[in-house]
Amino acid sequence: MATATSKAEAIALKDKGNKAFKEHDWPTAITFYSQAIEKYDSDPAFYSNRAQANIKLEAYGYAIADATKALELDPANVKAYWRRAIANTAILNSQAALRDFKIVVKREPNNKDAKLKLAECEKLVKRIQFAKAIEVGDPPSAFQDLDIDSIQVPSNYDGVRLDDQMTQEFIDDMIQRFKDGKRIHKKYVYQIIKAVRDIVYDEPTMVEVEVEPKTTLTVCGDTHGQYFDLLEIFRLNGFPTDDHAYLFNGDFVDRGSWSTEIALLLYAYKWLRPGYFFLNRGNHETDDMNRVYGFEGECKAKYSEQVFRLFSESFSALPLATLIGKKYLTLHGGLFSDDKTSLNDIRNLNRHQQRQPGQSGLMMEMLWTDPQPTPGRGPSKRGVGLQFGPDVTKKFCENNGLEAVIRSHEVRMEGYEVEHNGKCITVFSAPKYCDTTENKGAYINIGPELKLDYHKFDAVPHPDIKPMAYAQSSLMSMM
């Protein structure tokens, strides 16, 4: 039974959590809120505050559970309804979000922001229902009627011209154009996307690479539209060459407001050096996420809806994993619900039969799962996928002759983290994520000896355009 002393100690811990939250140190905030709950588990504010910190860390499943607990303790807690609605919106559970937004508006009829979010959520639900109603089993290719050769680039176009092959000169010019806030001509956008779609379509679901003598392979995690931080990686670590290969492990787009710039630059390098530049698909290279988190809106704002459709088709062609030197399986999310899953299962997965990952299956798990510190498997903190423990990782590595699994998918305050007794490595390459999280970015250099060399870096200044500038605005409450 809680005492007055334990309650006072819990409030002091909550205050420490609030301080960490204000400093944008979400993991520390969660630690303090959790300690407060251990001392005194009957204060709804502790759960509601932890829900908001979990939202910041994209642990939406945990946020929903915390908000629900807060409402069990206090059914009139409007903040808890609001946070549960935001978390459900984030995992595209729009019907549940709609119910909670309606309750917020009913309890606070003069809350203009709540009314706006309710209206947006109602539109989203209708949009999803309409999309399902017109869905066809095997849609025609977005490239089918695209006559790129007939498109003329005007004589007054002030950038480097592109013929039928990518050049370093074009890439150098494109990098500068994007820094200056300019775009490339739509013909070149079409050429780049089509060339890369064709290249990656023919790659295996799990690309297998060796690190040759006197070469380096750099593995980068999520970049999420943070174009200027991507350029900082290249400035610090060197631009891609035939002696310096790169692997980008998914989530190139969404959230950050230079997602088209990142996607086009990475694609241009893939076209220029297809055997030395590798791209794994992430959970944000998917239609559902792109429609909510900004990439679709950005494509329409900067180019056209057709450009989004072309990117969407190219994303569905991307490999899902890369095996480095037969020692490191690199994939965006993590491991699997079945201990019997092997590298051969990944090799044999026909990703072209299923363009989007869905809610279950091997592709979904490769894109969505996360590690947990405790043994076994647990429900997803995100509300999608699952979590896997150190014993799962150990068994998978032993069964498949691996040194470790390298994955991304989650913010790490130091840019990377080595977990599961060294067998599970997370690398995240978007520092000061969404301009709100005080995390570093990181990348991993791997030489011919297959040793992992970790590098951390800080965010760099960027033009005054906010993250999620092109996203569904109901998610802005999460920023």
- Active-site hit among 224, 284, 332, 462: 284
Report the alpha-carbon distance of residue 65 to residue 71 in Å, rounded: 10
Report the alpha-carbon distance of residue 125 to residue 116 in Å, rounded: 14
Largest Cα–Cα separation, the chain:
79
Report the alpha-carbon distance of residue 358 to residue 288 in Å, rounded: 10
Distances (CA, A) of 415 to 232, 412, 442: 14, 5, 4
The C-alpha angle 308, 331, 402, rounded to 5 degrees, equals 165
In the chain, what is the straight-line distance between the N-terminal and C-terminal CA atoms, in Å? 38
- Going by C-alpha positions, the residue among 86, 88, 84 that lies closest to residue 75 is 84
244 is catalytic: no
Q: At a CB cut-off of 8 Å and minimum separation 6, what does 199 contact?
A: 270, 271, 274
Report the alpha-carbon distance of residue 407 to residue 43 in Å, rounded: 37
- Going by C-alpha positions, the residue among 342, 319, 320, 183 that lies closest to residue 264 is 183
Q: Which two tokens stand for residue 163?
A: 């013929």
Q: Which two tokens stand for residue 33?
A: 């809120």
Distances (CA, A) of 22 to 25, 28, 56, 69, 130: 8, 11, 12, 23, 40
Cβ burial of 100 (10 Å; 0-12, 13-18, 19+) is buried
Residue with tokens 């190219």: 314
Which residues are catalytic, by number? 284
